[in-house]
Amino acid sequence: MADSISNSNRYSFREIHVIQLFTAIILLILAVLFKGTGDDGDSLLHYLYAKWAYTDPSLFFNHWAKPLFVLAATPWSQFGFVGIKIFNIVNILLAQYFIYRVCLAWDYKFPWLASLFLILCPMLIYFGLSGLTEPFFACLFSLGLFLFQKEKFLSATILISFLPFARSEGLIIIILCAAYLLWIKKYSFLPWLLTGHVIYGFAGMRFYNNDFLWPFNKIPYPINKAFYGKGELFHFVYNMPYVTGIILSALLLVGCFFLFRDVKKLLQSRNNSRLSLEVFLIYGSF
């Protein structure tokens, strides 16, 4: 039995290596040979913030640019736009790997499929060959899931606390994480969800008139009355095939059935740690 599991894992590792090698080769060729920037708006602005942050420290705390993204992307951006594209490609590869490790630990029959599904998403190339923040956020979130799956609650909670400084959706993930910790009765870890805001609050307050709460008070979207957050209620539902592809969109609908099934199971078996993580942070994030 042990030999069987060992052989299964060995074949699985081989498959994930092939998938990641294929992903890296394709994206690196596109990044180097083609001069596209993903789009001519946010992608370029995120790149410029990261590139010039070392000349103006306030850019490391620009709320719209996302401070953690600027911090991580600045070294790569010094090599031009190709540099930040390679940075996002690395993030995609890491996200693939952590997703695979979570599935492997849960003993899925084909754990590498999740990583394959990721590379098959139509928007992946768009994000990977841009200066946008999505790949970085995906990398951090998948690492957070991996740490939670390993029951490294302190490391996972601290990491999740910084997600809003990579993308604003991180605030939603923090709420889901808090609900997850409450459900599994890990109350002592809840205060650590404030780590990111406390550190960035202190570090950036001198750029915001000593306002420690600038991460909340200076959120750019409602302040500037931007178009972000406005649109049709089912906008993302209608556009899901363009983001994940038709096949994965169909699988997402199938997943909704399993969501109801798993919620029912969770209500009957509160101590199921795997099911709790799936419902709150995997299903919940969708």
Picking from 185, 227, 203, 220, the residue whose alpha carbon sits closest to that of residue 58 is 203
Q: How confident is the model at residue 7 (pLDDT cuts 50, 70, 90)?
A: low
The pLDDT confidence band at residue 4, using thresholds 50, 70 and 90, is very low
More confident: 265 or 183: 183
Q: How far apart are CA 141 and CA 145, in angstroms?
A: 6
The residues, any chain, with a CB within 8 Å of residue 103's CB and separated by 6 or more, are 111, 112, 113, 114
Q: Give residue 241's pLDDT band: very low, low, confident or very high (50, 70, 90).
A: confident
Residue 121's SS3 state is coil
Q: Where are the domains of the chain?
A: 2-230, 234-286
Average pLDDT on 145-158 reads 96
Q: What is the DSSP letter of 283?
A: I
Distance of CA 243 to the CA centre of its chain: 15
Residue 195 scores a pLDDT above 90:
yes
The percent of residues in the chain predicted with pLDDT above 90, rounded, is 58
Mean of pLDDT values over 67-95: 97
What is the per-residue pLDDT for 5?
44
At a CB cut-off of 8 Å and minimum separation 6, what does 260 contact? none
What is the distance between the alpha carbons of residues 226 and 245, in angstroms, rounded to a whole number?
A: 29
pLDDT tier at 141 (50, 70, 90 boundaries)? very high
Question: Are 93 and 212 in contact, with CB atoms under 8 Å apart?
Answer: no
pLDDT band at 124 (very low <50, low <70, confident <90, very high): confident
Tell me the CA distances in angstroms from 123 to 17, 119, 126, 132, one per residue in order: 22, 9, 5, 12
In this structure, of 52-66, 100-114, 156-170, 262-276, the range with the lowest mean pLDDT score is 262-276
Average pLDDT of span 5-17: 68
Residue 1: pLDDT band (50, 70, 90) is very low
The model's pLDDT over 167-180, given as tens digits with 9 standing for 90+, comes to 999 999 999 999 99
Contact (CB, 8 A) for 70 and 59: yes
Cα 92 from Cα 139, distance rounded (Å): 7
First to last CA, the chain: 36
pLDDT confidence of residue 3: 45
Instruction: Identify the three-state secondary structure at position 172.
Output: helix
261 pLDDT above the threshold of 50: yes
Task: List the alpha helices (DSSP H) in 34-106.
Answer: 42-52, 67-77, 81-105
165 φ, ψ (degrees, to nearest 5)? -95, 5
> If pLDDT is split at 50, 70 and 90, which confidence band does 148 have?
very high
Over residues 28-49, mean pLDDT? 91
Q: What is the DSSP letter of 281?
A: I
State the pLDDT at residue 228: 61
- Angle 146-148-252 (CA atoms, 0-180°, nearest 5)? 65
Identity of the residue numbered 42: D
